[in-house]
Structure 1
Amino acid sequence: MKKTTLPILTMILSGCALSGCSGSLVARMTNVGDPPDMSQTQNPTLMDGYRPVSMPMPYPEPELTNVNSLWQTGSRAFFKDQRANRVGDVITVLVDLNDKSKIDSNNTYNRNASHVSNVTNFLGFESKFSAIFPKAVNPANLTNTGSNSQDTGRGLLDRKDILELKIGATIIQVLPNGNLVIQGRQEILFETELRIVEVRGIIRREDIASNNTVPYEKISEARIAYGGRGDVSDVSSVPWGQQTLNRILPW
């Protein structure tokens, strides 16, 4: 970063501090002229917000063993199963998402209502209304009501999502029924744009292929995120000031 930009950057950061800018904005401003910083590799169970997974479990069943047999139930190899099955083992998740959806709705709502009551007095208090209201009160029209409402709405959604990638995930928990909780994160830096891929969920041991891979559709409670930060993300995203107005303004 050039030295001539330091005073300008200092003024911007000071203005942000006085106006209550978010910490993420200040962090982004400090990286002006430099690519985004990559995060350190760390234990997923020590990350902020991590909670052990708790799912309904079946009753425990006794393990069945075959006398004089070296074969392991569910094994793909004769002597040893090479697939991931313990905490810390790595498995490859195959994501091949090609989703297309289209929704077109058109709604029209009309309602007319009228109610006329035959009440001719209001417990004798109608004579006192002239002191409050500018015109004389007609007792025959004390409770007459009417309403007329109309609403027309049109909605159109046409979207297509394509995501193809492979990501390594780590087993971070083994549930009592043998299912595996996995979580993986990858960061790829392209010049000034940092791409981040995250995946987590629950898989069965039986769904792990012999090459130690599992397709994303076999992941229960799957959470797959693909995003990033950098110059491209800044240009394509809505400015934070406009985002604030979108959440505050009622119209």
Structure 2
Amino acid sequence: MIKDKRQVQNKFWFVVGACFVGLGVLWLFSGQVRADTVWNKDSASPYSTQKGYKEGDIINIIILENTSARNIAGTKTDVKDDLSTKFTHTLQALAPIIGTNINVTGQADNKYNGLGQTSRSSAVQARIAAWVTEVLDNGNLMIEGKHRVEVNNETQEITIRGIVRAKDISGANSIFSYQVANAALKVSGTGVVAETENPGWLTRFFNWLF
């Protein structure tokens, strides 16, 4: 009787132990699945403020660059023609009056010197709204932006192109120009320099004649 009772107890505890072992294995397995689902090496941090960018999105580029430029444009022409003609037969009828040795001389001298000069030495500080032109496979962004200003008949245009990392973009949706990889920054202008370099229509007419 006692032996049968012990056998029943042993079976009971064996079943209880097996249940605990099974529950433990199931818990470990489900925990691993849950962890793999929530996090993997390619997932972004749950605490990251980085947003997903797509083609056409706008990013503010803060340009802080030191530039020194000097532009000198000049054009100089010097055209000189000499004309010397000696009449010996054509004006024979006038020989008694004006002589037989008749020389007709002429000279055309046309000079033009145009010079335009401008010097710039400054720290370029600008804020440009650039757009995402392409999202690369590694998540980096190709951007391009333009800024055009016209003041006193002078036109200045700033263009920037390059590649940025999405994680370098601040929470204010801005990034500095020195963080742009393969940056191509161009500052160009038009105005009095280009106009001064070109000669006027009268000078061009005389150049065509001579």
TM-score, with structure 1 as normaliser? 0.38
Return the index of the structure with the highest Cα Rg: 2
Is the helix fraction higher in 1 or 2?
2
Q: Which has the higher strand share?
A: 2
